Structure 1
């Protein structure tokens, strides 16, 4: 008697593979999110594209090479559109997290080289949710505060004195995040930190990190919402 085949699938068919997200799908998603919060973006993109094409046509007539310069100008027009979309998408993403507790740490998480920022703050006021984050890099120790300028000063002074006592000779910089006078908006925080001048060499930086790690960090009672979704700007979408 012939043997029956038993290799037929019993699960009703093979499972479908998850659909791969293409780069143009990501760009479309970024575009939709950006236009939703910043409708003027579509006009900026259209205007920039037509502007570059118009410049190409004008140069084409000037040099009697209209078709050639339009072909050359097309990729430059697309690059201009992508650049403007990236900048406006970045602005929208910063605006979405601006003012939320933990927004500064979320933004600082995009710095990949030269700095280390622990996930948790070093100081928290449980009543007001004012926080102080600490980062270490070649410019020294930087303390990032969130909260009203007058109120947060008293909170950060404690950590500033502690750092100067533990790390004598190491520069300690305080940056207040906010929209009051003397404070830095979230959208400019990364640029502000990266502009700090290096003061430590690699060996000194390693020693500072080693000493801070040896001290450990006291676990603080973090209020709910201190780091909303650990939000970080979508770097892929901003490329």
Structure 2
């Protein structure tokens, strides 16, 4: 006599909530370790954010005659405050890790979640210096961000601005460089995303979609041709094509 199958049709059991909680805890610990490694005072700020509400709740509870209730309330507030402080300090530490690395401007732009279309790859680059230009499009217009020393990358930015102006002549173009903010258009890396998001809307959603189609016509960065090879005279290896 055949055995009856299980009531769930033999489906594998759903992941246990304990495993999900352990994964979140492990991820939170990784964030904490990375943040403390870059910003050691974070551990003291977290201690203050967590313990402060608990101590305050206990004192208020003793005054009004409900120490347990207010201590529990302080504990909940301490967890929320600690999570908020860790999130802010972790974001700051992440930008510190990015500073000075190639492509940092693109990574900072990618942190913008809504309202902007961010090109994941640079739209212009200088092979010798490895300077790059990243582009974003939104209702505020077209944003070009130079990734490299500000005095040197401005020429590359201006060249890309002229290219963009040819396909979208009436669209505002904003030029930024990543730096200490000492000159016009120079923005610290950690403030780049917020600076872009604060740009005043000047385009409608329909206009943004039309400009996006025009920008696609510009294409991306063409791979460089190896030195010494004439692309007009290059011929395929027919023996390799025949599998020999």
> TM-score category by the smaller chain?
0.7 to 0.9
Aligned residues of 2:146 and 2:176 also touching (Cα < 8 A): yes
What does the per-residue CA deviation read over 1:49-85, in whole Å, with 9 as the maximum and x for residues that have no partner? 1211122123223433222111111111011111111
Structure 1 counterpart SS, 2:217: helix
Aligned to 2:167: 166
Distance in structure 1 (CA, Å) of the matches to 2:39 and 2:28: 16
Q: Is the contact between residue 122 and residue 221 of structure 2 (CA under 8 Å) also seen in structure 1? A: no
Query: Which residue does 2:206 correspond to in 1?
Result: 203
Deviation at 1:220, TM superposition (A): 4.6
Distance in 2 between residues matched to 1:180 and 1:126, nearest whole Å:
26
User: Alpha carbon RMSD of aligned pairs, Å?
Assistant: 1.9
Which whole-Å CA distance do the structure 2 matches of 1:125 and 1:212 have between them? 20
Secondary structure, aligned partner of 2:187:
coil
**Residue 152 (structure 1) aligned with residue 146 (structure 2):** no
Q: Does 1:215 align with 2:218?
A: yes
Q: Does the 8 Å contact 1:143/1:175 carry over to 2?
A: yes
* 1:1-239 matched pairs, under 5 angstroms: 22-179=23-180, 181-182=182-183, 183-221=186-224
How many residue pairs get aligned? The number is 204
Which consecutive unaligned segments of at least 5 residues does structure 2 have?
A: 1-18, 225-244
Measure, in 1, the Cα distance between the counterparts of 2:223 and 2:147.
16
1:98 is displaced (CA, Å) by 0.9
CA contact (8 A) 1:123 1:220 kept: no
Unmatched segments (≥5 aa) in structure 1: 1-18, 222-239
| Larger RCO of the pair (alpha carbons < 8 Å, separation 6+) | 1
Aligned equivalents of 1:218, 1:152: Cα separation in 2? 16
CA deviations over 1:181-220 (Å, ceiling 9, x no partner): 1321211111111111111101101100111123323425
Once the two structures are superposed, what CA deviation does each residue of 1:130-174 show, in whole Å capped at 9, x if it has no partner?
Answer: 211111111110000122222222221111122223212101001
Task: Report the equivalent of 1:11.
Answer: none
- Pick the structure with greater CA Rg: 2
SS of the equivalent of 1:215 reads coil
Does the Cα contact within 8 Å between 2:31 and 2:90 map onto a contact in 1?
Answer: yes
Q: TM-score with structure 1 length normalisation? A: 0.79
Q: 1:157 to 1:45 in 2, by over 3 A?
A: same
Q: Is the CA contact 1:146–1:178 (under 8 Å) kept in the aligned structure 2?
A: no
